Structure 1
Amino acid sequence: MQSMFMKARTALETKGRFASGAVPEEIADSWYRCLGHGLDPVGEPLDADIGIHALRETRQKHEKLLRVIRPELELLSTQIAGTNHMTAFADNRGVVLDAIMDTEFSMSKCARSVRCGTIWDEKLRGTNALGLALHTGRTSMVTGAEHYFASHSKVSCVATPVFDSQGQIVGLLDASSEVAARQFHTQALVELAASNIENRLFIEDHRANNIVQFHPREEYLKTQSVGMISFDENGTILGANRRAAQLLNGLDFAGLSQFRDVFRTDFGTNLSAMRGGETVRLVDWLNSAFFARIRLSRLALGTSSQNLALNLPSTYEVPSLPDTPVFRDEQVLNSLRLAIRAAKMITPQHVIGAPGTGRTTFVQAVHKASCPDKPLIAIDCRTANVNAESDGLTGELFGGDNNSSFLIETGGMLVLEDLSEATGRASEQLAQLINRLLQHKSSAKWSIIVTENDDPKEAAHWPKFVSMTFSKLRQLEFQLPALKERSDASLIAVSMMARLSTDHQLSRSAIDAIFDLHAPNTFYDLEKLLTTLAIQCSASVLRAEHVNRYIVHEDLRDAVCPRCKGNSAKEAKCREINRVFVECNANIALAARKLGVSRNTVYAHTRISVDEG
């Protein structure tokens, strides 16, 4: 027995009219418009196409937008995989500019119709999700026989508009499949992808302004569901994303122009607090409370290194590499040789070591030996968790030809620092990027190195496809020992001092004093000690006595010399001398002047005994 809808469908095809009450309202309205355009529901739609030259020009015109769109299309395609599907992006005329489809869908009749350059305006293609979303400005779902043309009845589609920061439609995202059962799930994913794109476009348009992110729940401030309002330095509203209007429901947002028109508090005070890294509490004029923070732009952060957009912020800072890295420790040298061999064979590997064990230097040495003419791109996966929802992923570029565009065809080395810390959207974007690099079939090859503090562990919150992708990287592991456990620690100290200061040299006694008395566990600890020596001491050859004099133990501030121990009055005076000595950066003469005592007194209580020369 035919359903009411199918009876209406049959009437449309045979009589050119139908009972509108049997058809969803938006679909019925679209069918009526198509009848008005003179379209035949049982005929074939016009295969409208703008042509290859116009397509090339349109893509060039929207190049920046497409760089934002592409990773969302790829991620969306991954999320709905297994449904005989296609994802596409069309501009605000309904012209398809980019599309991704799985193998099964690519062999269907529909795939030959939905290709780049084709126009999916309702007037030409009848009722379809792209055309309907373009007409209504809302998310549209068109399932099977709801399409105006009978030839489209085997496909179900979901499309949603993408708005720029001025509220204008710049394009449409579409997901089409021959499996209709998961369309409501697909709709949620398509809308989330559109929200991600809109937030990135908003941030790009207002990067030089103060972007305030707010949400009723503080833990949601790092998600895509935040409202964002852009202000100038005086609190004038310059723009807002769609989510902001939804959260401020009840306020006539379009008529508001100042911070004080929205929130019951002072703009300047809150701006200062947010710039200081605080999360503040704001209350609007309808007494709705929100947590808010300021989104620091790249300009505000003032990064000086070259950022490479991966189109999928992370920011990654690498300490300077010594001119001659030291790898004389037997364990480290053996690991380096194997890592270089693995990189040349394009075998993923893990480098495990605590912060300050030389992971960055190790990775750069592997890159220099295996592919020095190719780029080295590094992503800090911890920072990616903060920026991924709005900026997408960015990495630091080292080596290569300084091209600011990420081209998968170039090949090179990708370093993922603390991959196990990646969560949420960042983990999905990273998994997508890794899959692209591992599956790329051209002659260009990418070596992937993961650096971790501890042995990698699978995170329980990762989706299945993320866990499966990350597991592909666990083929080889190399452990880096702590600095104090390395047999070449003294050579590292000599090399590091040569880089820090050309005016100083370390003697054997100085090296022994550094490692025996202060036991630096990391490269950072050692660099701090050597920097202090280079700044404080004017002698060209540094000896043990200089180490004892200028490198002060942290516990010296409350230390008591043997002569004063046991006498409370003397202990108090001794602690005062040691405290001032530490505050004066081990400057005996300055400490003596501040305390009003002789230099010999300071020497005696701080247990320092060294000739000035």
Structure 2
Amino acid sequence: MPNLTSVEKEFSNLTKKRGFLSSLIDKDIADSWKRCISTGLDPLKKPKRTILSSKELDELKEKNEYIRRLINPELELLYSQIAGTNFMVAYSDSTGSVMDTIYDKTCLKTDVGKIVIPGSIWREEIGGTNGLGQVVTLNKDSIVSGKEHFFESHGKLSCFASPILNHEGKTIGIIDASTDVHSREQHTLALVKLATKSIETKLFINQFKDELILSFHPRQEYLSTNSVGLLAINGDGFVVGSNSNARIMLHGLAPLKNENFNNIFTTSFSSIANELLQNKILKISDHLGSSVFIIKSQNFKKKISKETGIKTYACNNCKGSKFKEERCVLIKSAFIETGNISAASRKLGVSRTTIYKHLK
């Protein structure tokens, strides 16, 4: 394995040969090249192709069947959105092992169509510097264009990759678009990122389908887009899940997981619950002073607390109506939060008799 001095020397020679200035080359690309050199990869040689066996690929697909059902429609949509020829879109797992691909007609005869195939592995230590490999290593969006690839044989490719993140911020898959170096780079990456955000939203809603899911954004007109923050709230008013947008927009506040809604926003959960259930768009502020618009995006009928003697499902009088069932659960939540019928009545703006009816 090359020592530090020889790595820097080889890196300097490689940048000169490729026509890059060492001081101006993208830091992520430079760091990747140095890692490739350190592991003994030779940019002038063809990379050793590592392909999963048919059995291994089938097992990988079966393991990821659930997410593949959500991803494949997004791949088809992404494919239809990318203009030009000689391109393909692919889905890989979090390790850079490709499972599903869709090719342009002319792509199968090109370098892209020949090497980015189901079963191919694109981790950096195998495929050198490349889009999928960068996402595996860095856990963020990546463009690797033309001569930025470590292996010279990949110099005609451009790769645009974006991670699919779950509600804990963990990469669970990668979407990639690969084409020739003349593609519109930022435009293509933007489309790939839209695809991953759409997948993340579907995964989040499925994951927390039994909870109240709230969408929020600083701009009201963005509430119907995939740029919204998503919070899954249980019957006690605690956050049980958040998407990556929510974590970005609420950065600097208390950790979101298992945090009380009231510790994040200055408006209490119980005071706006009824309005949210009526699909009203509300404007609230977080404890750092930022304002957002918030609206309900999913129904919920979940247990409130295992530690109370109160039934945590809707009472018989409320069954048969989704809104009444949800409202019944929220009333019980308000009572648990306050521990007092009068206090719960004041928070929700309903009569004490109404509170008692739902707790009976």
**Residue in structure 1 matched with residue 94 of structure 2 by the alignment:** 92
Q: Structure 2: how far apart are the matches of 1:258 and 1:132?
A: 36
Cα distance, 1:13 vs. partner? 8.5
Q: Structure 2: how far apart are the matches of 1:213 and 1:22?
A: 40
Q: Structure 2: how far apart are the matches of 1:166 and 1:244?
A: 11
**Residue in structure 1 matched with residue 68 of structure 2 by the alignment:** 66
Q: Structure 2: how far apart are the matches of 1:116 and 1:291?
A: 43
Could you say if the C-alpha distance between residues 13 and 287 of structure 1 is closer, same or farther in structure 2, counting changes exceeding 3 Å? closer
Could you say if the C-alpha distance between residues 263 and 231 of structure 1 is closer, same or farther in structure 2, counting changes exceeding 3 Å? same
Could you say if the C-alpha distance between residues 46 and 222 of structure 1 is closer, same or farther in structure 2, counting changes exceeding 3 Å? same
**Residue in structure 2 matched with residue 142 of structure 1 by the alignment:** 144
Q: Which consecutive unaligned segments of at least 5 residues does structure 1 have?
A: 1-7, 301-613
Cα distance, 1:216 vs. partner? 1.7
**Residue in structure 2 matched with residue 120 of structure 1 by the alignment:** 122
Could you say if the C-alpha distance between residues 15 and 82 of structure 1 is closer, same or farther in structure 2, counting changes exceeding 3 Å? closer
- Determine if the alignment matches structure 1 residue 262 to structure 2 residue 268: no
> What does 1:167-566 align with in structure 2 at a 5 Å threshold?
167-254=169-256, 257-297=259-299
Give the residue type in structure 1 aligned to 2:100. D
Task: Find the residue that maps to 2:226 and give its secondary structure.
Answer: coil
Could you say if the C-alpha distance between residues 110 and 195 of structure 1 is closer, same or farther in structure 2, counting changes exceeding 3 Å? same
- Determine if the alignment matches structure 1 residue 21 to structure 2 residue 23: yes
**Residue in structure 1 matched with residue 327 of structure 2 by the alignment:** none
Cα distance, 1:112 vs. partner? 1.4
Task: Find the residue that maps to 1:20 and give its secondary structure.
Answer: coil
Q: Structure 1: how far apart are the matches of 2:171 and 2:211?
A: 23
Q: Structure 1: how far apart are the matches of 2:284 and 2:275?
A: 12
- Asked if structure 2 preserves the Cα contact closer than 8 Å seen for 1:83 and 1:179, the reply is no
Which structure has more relative contact order (CA 8 Å, sep 6+)? It is: 2
Instruction: Write out per-residue CA displacement over residues 442-465 of structure 1, whole angstroms, 9 at most, x where no aligned residue.
Output: xxxxxxxxxxxxxxxxxxxxxxxx
Aligned with 2:41 (options 36, 39, 42): 39
> Across the two proteins, how many residue pairs are aligned to each other?
292
Could you say if the C-alpha distance between residues 209 and 144 of structure 1 is closer, same or farther in structure 2, counting changes exceeding 3 Å? same
Instruction: Write out per-residue CA displacement over residues 393-420 of structure 1, whole angstroms, 9 at most, x where no aligned residue.
Output: xxxxxxxxxxxxxxxxxxxxxxxxxxxx
Give the residue type in structure 2 aligned to 1:32. K
Cα distance, 1:181 vs. partner? 3.8
Cα distance, 1:246 vs. partner? 2.1
The 10-residue stretch of structure 1 (221-230 or 172-181) with the greater mean CA deviation from structure 2:
172-181
Cα distance, 1:162 vs. partner? 0.7
TM-score relative to the length of structure 1? 0.46
Q: Structure 2: how far apart are the matches of 1:298 and 1:209?
A: 4
Task: Find the residue that maps to 1:81 and give its secondary structure.
Answer: coil
Could you say if the C-alpha distance between residues 104 and 15 of structure 1 is closer, same or farther in structure 2, counting changes exceeding 3 Å? closer
Q: Structure 2: how far apart are the matches of 1:15 and 1:72?
A: 39
Could you say if the C-alpha distance between residues 43 and 232 of structure 1 is closer, same or farther in structure 2, counting changes exceeding 3 Å? same
Give the residue type in structure 2 aligned to 1:206. F
**Residue in structure 2 matched with residue 570 of structure 1 by the alignment:** none
Q: Structure 2: how far apart are the matches of 1:238 and 1:123?
A: 37
TM-score relative to the length of structure 2? 0.76
| Structure label with greater radius of gyration | 1
- Asked if structure 2 preserves the Cα contact closer than 8 Å seen for 1:13 and 1:42, the reply is no
Q: Structure 1: how far apart are the matches of 2:71 and 2:236?
A: 33
**Residue in structure 2 matched with residue 78 of structure 1 by the alignment:** 80
Instruction: Write out per-residue CA displacement over residues 554-591 of structure 1, whole angstroms, 9 at most, x where no aligned residue.
Output: xxxxxxxxxxxxxxxxxxxxxxxxxxxxxxxxxxxxxx
Cα distance, 1:249 vs. partner? 3.8
Task: Find the residue that maps to 2:23 and give its secondary structure.
Answer: helix
**Residue in structure 2 matched with residue 154 of structure 1 by the alignment:** 156
Q: Structure 2: how far apart are the matches of 1:195 and 1:109?
A: 29
Cα distance, 1:163 vs. partner? 0.6
Could you say if the C-alpha distance between residues 110 and 43 of structure 1 is closer, same or farther in structure 2, counting changes exceeding 3 Å? same
Cα distance, 1:252 vs. partner? 4.5
